[in-house]
Chains A and B, each alone.
Chain A
Amino acid sequence: MAEERKWGMVVDIDRCTGCQACVIACQTENNILMSSEDIVQQKRAMVWIRIERYWEGEYPNIKARFIPVLCQHCENAPCEPVCPVYATYHNNEGLNVQVYNRCVGTRYCANNCPYHARVFNYWERHTAAPHMQVYPADARAAEPMNEYLNPDVTVRTKGLMEKCTFCLQRIRRVSRQATVEGRAIADGEVQPACVQSCPTGALVFGDLRDARSQVSKLAGDQRAYHLLEDLGTRPAVTYLKKVDPNARATSPSH
């Protein structure tokens, strides 16, 4: 099959304000298990996109930097070769796909992901932290909240690995529509939930194989870099550096 498209994203750090709109948009779109307080305390929060914060400098010359981190959909994905059951593979549109009904939960992929973009379902949806009552033990008690689950996205169960899909369901919906109408997908027509919500326009999504797409143009910007570029993972997510007119040599701390 010809590889027609290669989906990719650009994250402009100079626009990102760390407002968290993308984080919640992703939660609402992808039926992600809500992380209760003790789940966060255990450092097992379920997020497909997170905004990392870095301190630079010392008071009073201190700055905070924000970097949204999501699955980088690497061309050379370290998570793919270690899966014993081929639950994660690279599809012909450049997406690193997680097949839930193949996953047996070895968590090798998460161990091998340098971006820590993969999260594991340690809990059943309704037994996650029952004392917190985020999902009460009696699943029916939290019932109305089932109503907003997205019917296009599989509800994952305990023991499954999951991660950002670039909102595969949205890609499918647009490509199906385009096929029905006998046309190509227009640039900007597919928008993952995070890109759709991003108020500052820091996130841009599109086809990297189309040289005229906005994402291709931005990926060629002089500010462009990849996270952990030296690992040779060839991410499909390109970052654009923050512009700092007062930059000074400081070492970052986390």
Chain B
Amino acid sequence: MELTRRDFLKISGSSAAGAVLFAGCTPPEHEWKLESPVLLPEDTLTSFENWYASVCRQCEAGCGIITRVVEGRAKKIEGNPLHPLNRGKLCARGEAGLQALYHPDRLRTPLRRTGPRGMGQYQIISWDEALNELVSRLKDQQAQGSAGAVALVTGPLRGLEAHLVTRFARAYGATSLAYAPLEETALQAALKQLFGQDTYPVFDIARANYILSFGANFLEPWISQVHYNRAYGEFRQGQRTQRGYLVQVEPRLSTTAANADEWVPVTPGTEGVLALSIAYVLIDRRLASPTVAQAMTGGAGVQGLGAFRPEEASRITGVPAERIEAIAKALAERRPALVLGGLGPAGHTNGLFNLTAIYALNFLLESVGRPGGVLLNPAPPTPELAARAPASPFLEWQRFAERLRTKQPRPVNILMVHDANPLYGLPPAVQFGEGLKNVPVIISFSSFMDETTAMADLILPDSTYLESWGESIPDPGPGFQAVGFQQPVVKPYFSTRSFTDVLLTVAGELGGQAKEELPWNTYKDALRETAQRLFRLNRGSIRKPDFESFWNTLLQEGGWRDEQATAPRVDLRLPVLARQSQPPQFSGTDKDYPFYLHVFASAGLSDGRGAHLPWLQMTPDPTTTIMWQSWVEMNPRTAAALGLRENDVVVVESPQGRLETMLYLYPAIPPGVVAMPTGQGHTYLGRYAEKRGANPLSILAPMATAEGGALAWGATRVRISKTGRQYPLPKLEGSVPAVQPEDYTIIPVTDLRTR
């Protein structure tokens, strides 16, 4: 007899309990089941929830979020379905924002340093005291006529916050700089040169038929992971006749390359040559429009690109000539085709050449201004929202570090830092830390004790984004005008104040020009003024008869958008394809330093700013499944030749420095390249980040792109040596037997449910 467990229990239940004990009286059917007669804890709901719309600040893109709040505590962050950038979706970093809010190591009150710098000895002070000290120090500098000796360092800013900070710096006379470790300044410069815009254009991945990406890790933390992942889903399986085809060109198989249909390993720094070789084939085989080709080669035609014949390019890039031809032909056949370039090609001394050559292919393929290609974004709806304070390029930071160190042309007497951690991110070779020793007063507005804040003399802790007001023009924009509004979803949990409010308070206390430039009492006032302007436009998603109901709807929906307000059709002038290729420069000879060091952004920690959140520490790297640690990737054959095994602690040494980390055998990396993720190696930043792993930025050579001066983080060569020690890498891989389904050996097992 075939009997399932459930049948057995039903029978035993009805015969034993039903027939014997309650003879003649059948128990109700639900009592036959194994479900508990009372409501299980799993089935009870105790909470009443409210959802508040706001903006995510875990990266610079500015996705819309909705936050679940129960009894005044934030419980869950989800994507805002109304926000055009992410449409209800979110990434791991966005989800982990709750931990930044309720972090045990948050700076809870204003602090004044009592011991030597960096020793962590602080005294708790009141906000009045902290503000008084800040204002009096700023007034002192003003009185001494050395307002120019005050420097304000922030993260990259845009919109109202950028407007406020630049106005403050101008009114006071302070130097202002913005910092981002993996700066996109080379990319922004290339895009500005080609498309004439400061903001990112729309890369229409969803509607593209063919994407050729040169190290543009758009499925990872690059510009907007959520936005591009959403588009990628449509690109693959959206309602279309053809499934999109993705080719990823880069030295190491990244998560994006893992999802690509083809991965093309390329010699680091030669991406631009490859792009021009593709241009050569397109023009030579008459696959590009002849008029466009003529214009872009300055009338020289294909002869102008003679140096980039596939055979020549193959020698430089390591990509076979046939493959270059095949890619060019596929690009021409499968339109609309989209060509992207990212961190890989940007991070070399010839970064700008690489990126302009890459993005110029979009013109040759007539993809600019077309759906499925590169579309432009309109200007923001109001002028103050158009303000930007983008990251200053590395060279400017190097000069600034030199100014701190040498006090030339003038010293910095007060350094104010908000949402930037240059001491962690800048290569030690620029000696920023040495420079900080010459700054008499360092004031930090950080929420956490990061490396730079640990040097501060006065700390006025910032509220997290879930406790503050703000707004954000999504960048990359969705192709039409949109503004996200950020509101405090919970009250400040600790005694913190948002930086923008502090800035306005200080401006008010300083009086004079600062007060004139920044007349608002709180950031919310400034924000309401911007909302007033949007209200008066009387167009877009929210139209209300009076301002208060407009304002309430604005906060309820988390923003405003006008899908009709698209970019005006602009006559795109055709750029001339670069004819002078510059070979990339490297620090270290290939004899002494046999490996290219390929630095990539960590999936969870990105450039290191997420390292304090345990959820992001335990986000497995998609391709290696490693959590909580840093590692260096090497081709297994190279490792075998060097006598290295996985989990070996190795020394990674560049001409500028050395670090120790674990070796991971990565089967998808060329023999001459080793790769390391950013993000770890913090000396401060709370219990989850401190003294964990190594920071590859700490051994980078201070080399910059020839034009624009962006950090060339791919320009360092390294050598690897054994320490003789081993350390087991914490990884998910190998935890459980594989359940790879498609080629699994079939073991016939009788279906237990067959009756």
User: Are A69 and B739 in contact (CB-based, < 8 A)?
Assistant: yes
- Min CB–CB distance B240 → chain A (angstroms): 13
- A147 B746 Cβ-Cβ under 8 A: no
Cα A244 to Cα B6 in complex, Å, equals 42
Return the contact of A14 from the options B78, B236, B263, B753 (Cβ within 8 A): B236
CB A206 to nearest CB in B, in angstroms, measures 16
Task: Check B116 for interface membership: any CB of A closer than 8 A.
Answer: no
On whether the beta carbons of B734 and A254 are closer than 8 Å, the reply is yes
Residues of B close to A159: CB separation below 8 A? none
Decide: B42 and A151 in contact? CB cutoff 8 A. no
Which residues of A have CB within 8 Å of B74?
Answer: 147-148
What is the minimal beta-carbon distance from A101 to any residue of chain B, in angstroms? 7
What count of chain A residues pass the 8 Å CB interface test? 105
A232 B78 Cβ-Cβ under 8 A: no
Determine if A107 is an interface residue (Cβ-Cβ < 8 Å).
no
In the complex, B168 has a CB within 8 A of chain A: no
How far is it, in angstroms, between the C-alpha of A227 and the C-alpha of B736 when the chains are bound?
Answer: 14
* Residue pair A76, B751 in contact (C-beta under 8 Å): yes
Which residues of the partner chain A approach B43 to less than 8 Å between Cβ atoms? 168, 172
B89 engages A199 (CB within 8 Å): yes
CB-CB under 8 A from A54, the residues of chain B are 738, 740
Chain A 86-120 residues near chain B, CB threshold 8 A: 86, 89-92, 97-101, 114-116
Q: At the interface, yes or no: A243 with Cβ under 8 Å from chain B?
A: yes
Is A24 touching B619 in the complex (CB atoms < 8 A)? yes
> Which of A23, A141, A199 contacts B225, CB < 8 Å?
A199
- Known contacts A28-B77, A116-B739; is-contact A36 B628 (Cβ 8 Å): yes
B733 located at the interface, meaning its Cβ lies under 8 Å from any Cβ of chain A in the complex: yes
Q: Are B739 and A20 in contact (CB under 8 A)?
A: no
Interface residues of B in 726-753 (CB under 8 A from A): 728, 730-744, 746-753
| Interface status of A241 (Cβ within 8 A of chain B) | yes
A246-B747 in contact given A19-B219, A37-B629, A152-B46 (Cβ < 8 Å): no
Tell whether A34 pairs with B615 under 8 Å between CB atoms, given A18-B622, A63-B263: yes
Q: Inside 8 A of B229's CB, which chain A residues have their CB?
A: 17, 19, 21, 199-200
Q: Is the CB of A143 within 8 A of B104?
A: yes
Q: Is A84 among interface residues, defined by CB-CB distance under 8 A?
A: no
How many B residues have CB within 8 A of the partner chain? 111
Given known contacts A23-B619, A43-B734, A196-B88, A99 and B42 CB-to-CB distance under 8 angstroms: yes
Considering the complex, which residues of chain A in the window 59-96 have a beta carbon less than 8 Å from any beta carbon of chain B?
59-60, 62-67, 69, 75-76, 80-81, 86, 89-92
Q: Report whether A152 and B739 are in contact in the complex, using a CB–CB cutoff of 8 Å.
A: no
Judge whether B101 is part of the interface by a CB distance below 8 angstroms: yes
- Is B95 interfacial (CB 8 A cutoff)? yes
B614 CB to nearest chain A CB (Å):
5
- Which of B32-40, B367-375, B548-556 lines the interface with chain A? B32-40
Distance, CA A64 to CA B420, complexed state (A): 35
User: Which of chain B's residues 115-160 have a Cβ closer than 8 Å to chain A?
Assistant: none
Which residues of chain A in 165-190 are interfacial with respect to chain B, using CB atoms and an 8 Å cutoff?
A: 165, 168-169, 172-173, 176
The stretch that binds A, out of B253-261, B406-414, B566-574, B584-592, is B253-261
CB distance from B390 to the nearest CB of A (A): 26
Nearest chain A CB to B743 CB, angstrom units: 6
Q: Would you call B230 and A97 a contact (CB within 8 A)?
A: no
Looking at the assembled complex, report how far the CB atom of B137 sits from the nearest CB atom of chain A, in whole angstroms. Answer: 31
Which parts of B201-220 form the interface with A (CB within 8 Å)?
Answer: 219-220
B106 at the interface (CB under 8 A from A): yes
Enumerate chain B residues within 8 angstroms of A144, measured Cβ to Cβ: 102-104, 106, 493
A34 & B614 in contact (Cβ 8 Å cutoff) = yes
C-alpha spacing A199/B61, complex, angstroms: 15
Assembly CA distance A32 to B138 (angstroms): 48
Chain B residue with the shortest CB-CB distance to A148: B98
Q: Are B622 and A101 in contact (CB under 8 A)?
A: no
Q: Mark B58-96, 1 if CB is under 8 A from A, else 0.
A: 000000000000100111111100000010111110111
> A53: CB under 8 A from chain B?
yes
Q: Report Cα–Cα, A144/B635, bound state, in Å.
A: 43
- Measured between alpha carbons, how far is A174 from B409 in the docked complex, in Å? 65
Are A243 and B243 within 8 A (Cβ)?
Answer: yes
A226 to B742, CA, bound (A): 9
Which residues of A are found within 8 Å of B321, using beta-carbon distances? none
Residues of A near B50 (CB, < 8 A) are none
Q: Tell me which residues from 27 to 60 in chain A have a Cβ below 8 Å from any Cβ of chain B.
A: 27-29, 34-38, 40-41, 43, 45, 47, 50-55, 58-60
Q: Are B79 and A197 in contact (CB under 8 A)?
A: yes
Contacts of B738 in A (CB 8 A): 52, 54, 252, 254
Judge whether B743 and A18 touch: CB under 8 Å.
no
Encode contact with B along A125-143: 1 for CB under 8 Å, 0 otherwise: 0000000011000000111
A147 to B74, CA, bound (A): 8
Contact B233 A141 (CB under 8 A): no
Decide if B668 touches A151 in the complex (CB within 8 Å).
no
Q: In the complex, what residues of A have CB within 8 A of residue B741's CB?
A: 67, 225-229, 239
CA distance A181 to B754 in the complex (A): 40
Is the pair B618, A35 in contact by a Cβ cutoff of 8 Å?
Answer: yes
Residues of A within 8 A of B33 (CB): 1, 89, 92
Asked if B743 and A1 sit within 8 Å, CB to CB, the answer is no
Query: Nearest Cβ in chain A — how far from B619, in angstroms?
Result: 5
A23→B376 CA distance, assembly (Å): 34
Whole-angstrom CA separation of A67 from B740 in the bound complex: 8
**B75-A150 in contact (CB<8A):** yes
Closest to B256 in A: A17
13 pairs, CB–CB < 8 Å, chain A vs chain B: A17-B232, A18-B258, A25-B90, A40-B627, A45-B618, A50-B732, A89-B33, A97-B42, A116-B736, A165-B42, A172-B45, A200-B229, A231-B749
For the A-B complex with A20-B604, A62-B253, A64-B622 known, give 6 more contacts whose Cβ atoms are closer than 8 Å: A21-B226, A25-B95, A27-B615, A99-B42, A225-B741, A226-B741
